[in-house]
Structures are given as C-alpha cells and as structure tokens.
Structure 1
Amino acid sequence: MTDTRRRLLDALAGADGPVSGPTLADRLGVSRAAVWKQVEALRAAGFDVESGADGYAVRSVPDYGGDAIAYGLDAPYAVEYHDRLPSTNDRARERAVEGATDRLVVAGEQTGGRGRLDRAWASPPGGVYASLLVRPDRPPAHVPIFTLAAAVAVTRACREAEVDAVIKWPNDVLVAGSERKLAGVLTEMEGEADRVSWLIVGVGANVDVAASDLPGTATSVRAEGGVADRRRFCQRVVETFHGLDPDEVLPAWRDHAVTLGRAVRVETPGGTVEGKAVDVESPGALVVRTDDGERTVHAGDCEHLRPADGN
C-alpha cells in the first residue's frame, strides 16, 4: 500500500460526510487526477465509494484485505496484505532486514504457520494471521512484555467479539471453561546486548473458521457463536496493542489470566517445575509456588494440571 493510499483512507474514514476532490488533493499534496486514480483503485478493491457534487464518501468496505484493514485503523502502521503466505512472521522479518518498521503484514491464509517451540500452527482461510514489525527503544530483556501485551490485545478482541476468552501463560488465548485454543502469539526479535534492533509480534487467531477445519483442541470465534468479523478483529488487536502502556500490561494480563491460581507443570530448559502458579512478574515471568519454595520461570511450556484448590 502506498503512503498516498493510506492517507486517502485516513481522510475518508475520518470525514463526517463527502470530501471534495480538491480538498483531498490539497490534504494529500497530490493532483486531483492522482486522487481519482486512488479512488478507482479502492473501488477495484471492493470499496463502494460514492462520488457526487459534494465529493467522495465511502458507503461500504470489503470484508477483508489490506485496504479494508487500513480503513479506520486507529494506529500508525502501514498494512501489507497477501492472500497467501508461508508465514507472516517470515515476511515481516524480510521487511525488517530491508529496514522497514511500523508495518503490519497480514495473510488471508498461511501455508507454513508455526507457534512457540516451532510447533505447526493450523492456518486455514478465515483466520487472522498478522505480524506487526516495530523497533522499540528497549533492551532485549524487556521483549517478553510485548508478548504479554499481544495476548491481552487478542483476548480483548475476542471478548469484544462476544467470546469469553482467557490467557494461559504466557501467550495462548483460550475459551473460558472449555479451554479450547482460540489464538496464539509468536514473538521474534533481533538485537544487541542493550537494545532491540527489530521486534516482530505475530498473531494467529481462529476467527471466521469452521470447527471442522481445526484440530480437536482448538475452536474459533465463529464456532463459539461470536461475531466473526475478521477486519474489525484485526484492527482491534493492533489498536489495543499499540495503545497499551507498558505499565498497564501486567495488571491487564493478570485480569485475563486463567493460569494464576492453577496447579501447573512447566517444562523449562533447566528441568520441570511443578506447583501452583501464583503470579506473573516483569517482564513476563511466571511465579510458581512449589514444595521447595517459589520458583520464577522465565520461559517454558506450561500445562494446567487441575483446578486450583484456593490454598
């Protein structure tokens, strides 16, 4: 998507009524012919753009796609859309190497999606597969907080879509009760000892996907009877993630967590930690109360063993 197209979308989305061609040309710093060309491109992409004596007005937006996601997106990211990709994280990494930043890479379908620990991630059509490329002014040790922030953003998007979602440490989004998986987050980065060079936050969410197209342990917003609007879901994830203050992330994560208070087994690089999950602390470590005292787990594969007894 060109910068002119994005600014045109912003101008049309933010208007209370029709906007004239001369006004758009002046605001965008382009000719009226260029405005007309971009409007025609939007129409070709499925937008219903009405033109009259007063100017241009958007009457309807496509269900999904790069321009549709960018239209009304309240966050400063360029949207790059593909019908199909092996992996949005891999594409975002290519863009990072090229020097890009503040870019949202979205695919209608992934053919090589993956989750944490290099596990395969089913990515059929109808899901939201998106990777956000940013360059935060933070040391690498702070990166886990961005993973937790993304989990919070996805959980809130699920709840806005009328599905009661919760978070399993550190980044799995589940349906409350059944604990079937709705979404996951995969964060990747490159950096030096004192700063992050680039950070990619990848989200895979089952939104408008039939239950028959998913593994038995997974579900979707549609299958749970929620509002399966991929465009709005993707926008809300990005907007919420962008708007979260780092100091807000841990309290928000705790509010949505299903892991805290549960008996857990965590497989870590240093061995198995088993006990009761009692807290999460900066930048995203799980505190587990074991028979030998509290252990702080910074990374691992967490399994819920049974409901907590409240002790």
Structure 2
Amino acid sequence: MCSDPVTRVELASVDSTNLEAFRRAPDLRGPLWILAGEQTAGKGRRARPWTSPPGNFYGSLAQRLDEPPARLGLRSFIAALALYDAFVAVVGNGTGFALKWPNDVLLNGGKLTGILLEASGQMLVIGMGVNLLHAPPASAVEPGAVAPVSLLGETGVRVTPARFLDALAPAMAHWEAIFRAEGFAPIRTAWLSRAARIGEKIIARTGSETREGIFETIDQDGNLVLCMASGTVAIPAADVFF
C-alpha cells in the first residue's frame, strides 16, 4: 500500500504551528508538517505558555484521521518515539535520552521537548517543541518539575530546525505505519524500553489530587500504572514528578 504524500511548509514566524495547521485543514490532502522559525503565541499542555526563542524547533504534524479520541491520543507515544529516534539520528547515539510519561523526552534527566495533541473533528494536530539551542531557566517551571535542558548545552551538537525535521518526519512515518498495521502493542513495548523511572517512586498530580507510588508500567490504553500503598491504579492523565 502506498503511503500518503507528505507536505512540508516552512514559515519564518507564526503565532502557533498548531493554529496554522488547523487554518490549513480545509485544504489538507495528506499529512502536513508546519515548521516555524519562531512562534509568537506558542503553548504547551494545559494552555501553559511555551517560550519560542529562534533556533529551537517548533513544528506540527496535521493528519485527517477517522478514529475515536482514545486512539488518536495514543499518538503522543508515537511522537515521543519519533523524537527519540530523531535525536539518536542527529547526535549519533542514544546516550542520556529517555522518555517520561506521558510524552516528554529527557536528556541527562532534563526536559528536552514538549508535545501537544489537539483534535477537531477528524483533524489531529501534533505540536512539538524542542530545545535545540536554548532552554528556559529552571525558575520558569513549577517547583519540583523537571528542569529544561537544550540539545546543544547537553551534547555540544548544533542542529538546525530544518535538519531536525529531516530526521523527525521519517521517524514519525515509521512509527505511524507500525501503529496502523499492528496497533498499540509494539508502540507500548518500544516506549517502555526507553522509559525513565520504571520501577522507581514517582508522584502523579491530577488537579488537586497527588498520588505517590512505584511506576510499574503503562497499560494497553497508555495509562500510567502506579503501585501505591493502597493498591494499583491506572491513571489516564497527570503531571509526573520525580
């Protein structure tokens, strides 16, 4: 089966690559990558501001998919795997890289990326921000959160956003093809093999509730499985702290 043709649009500046992807949705004929040199109104999970200094990666992949929301949401794991593979490709090895549930990539224990999935109807947009050259100060994140790091600062490797997309786009296509052909099981296995803090104590916060326990695994739906003193619980969404 032939894969869908992938279109790539590079912009000097945009309010948000996710917003731009949705604006282009009516004309979408296949997967579309939006890459921007800067964002003037970028955002992360829970509408948190995402600082966007020039030189970092700001990109979104838009696809039209007729699938239930739960299945669409599993693509956060695909995005995390693709980012991991792209880093290995541009750096030359996977030393220091790990995946933090639900969808962050860590480098030497610091946060290197952010992923934001947004859906409207049959349109799914996966926004990705990568600290290629610059990282926000630790004071910019909430207490206890993983401190941000940059690829350049941790490895000495300088990568342009365009070159990073050259590695990321085929990695996304690779894992997407596996997901469509075989479902979530191989994605889950691959993600767990790269996961940070498996078998260790973590904290999961959901709104006003805080749970602490051992990170056992992720289940077949991508939920965090946490072993607590009161028993094992599957958590669909939370902020995780180490």
TM-score, length of structure 2 as denominator length: 0.84
In the TM superposition, residue 141 of structure 1 has moved relative to its aligned partner by 1.3
Q: How does 1:2-17 map to 2 (within 5 A)?
A: none
Moved over 3 A (4+): none
CA distance in 2, matches of 1:129, 1:261: 33
**Matching of residue 155 in structure 1 with residue 84 in structure 2:** yes
- 1:302 is aligned to 240
- Give the match for residue 128 of structure 1: 57
Cα deviation code 1:264-299 (max 9, x no counterpart): 111125832221110012332110001111100001
Deviation at 1:139? Answer: 1.2
Q: 1:144 aligns with which of 58, 62, 73?
A: 73
**Residues of 1 paired with 2:44 and 2:188: CA distance?**
22
**Which amino acid letter does the alignment assign opposite residue 96 of structure 2?**
D
Counterpart mapping for 1:1-311 below 5 A: 76-96=5-25, 98-100=26-28, 101-162=30-91, 164-176=96-108, 179-191=109-121, 197-207=122-132, 209-210=133-134, 214-216=136-138, 217-230=147-160, 231-244=162-175, 245-246=178-179, 247=183, 248-269=186-207, 271-304=209-242
CA distance in 2, matches of 1:121, 1:253: 25
Assess, with a 3 A threshold, how the Cα gap between structure 1 residues 185 and 75 changes in structure 2: closer, same or farther: farther
Between the aligned partners of 1:198 and 1:227, the Cα distance in structure 2 is: 35
Determine the C-alpha separation between the residues in 1 that align with 2:4 and 2:137.
Answer: 33
AA aligned opposite 1:104: W
Tell me the equivalent position of 2:141. none
Identity, in percent, stands at: 33
How large is the Cα RMSD of the aligned pairs?
Answer: 1.9
> Larger relative CO (CA 8 A, sep 6+): 1 or 2?
2
Which structure has the bigger radius of gyration?
A: 1
CA contact (8 A) 2:4 2:31 kept: no
| Count of residues paired in the alignment | 220
Relative to structure 1, is the Cα distance of residues 260 and 76 closer, same or farther in structure 2, using a 3 angstrom cutoff? farther
The 3-state SS of whatever aligns with 1:143 is: helix
* 75 and 215 in structure 1: CA distance in 2 versus 1, 3 angstrom threshold: farther
Alpha-carbon contact 2:53-2:134 (below 8 Å) kept: no
* Distance of 1:250 and 1:201 partners within structure 2: 19
Unmatched tracts of structure 2, length 5 or more: 139-146
- In the TM superposition, residue 133 of structure 1 has moved relative to its aligned partner by 0.3
CA distance in 2, matches of 1:124, 1:292: 45
CA distance in 2, matches of 1:210, 1:240: 23
- Residues 75 and 227 of structure 1: CA distance in aligned 2, closer, same or farther (over 3 Å): farther
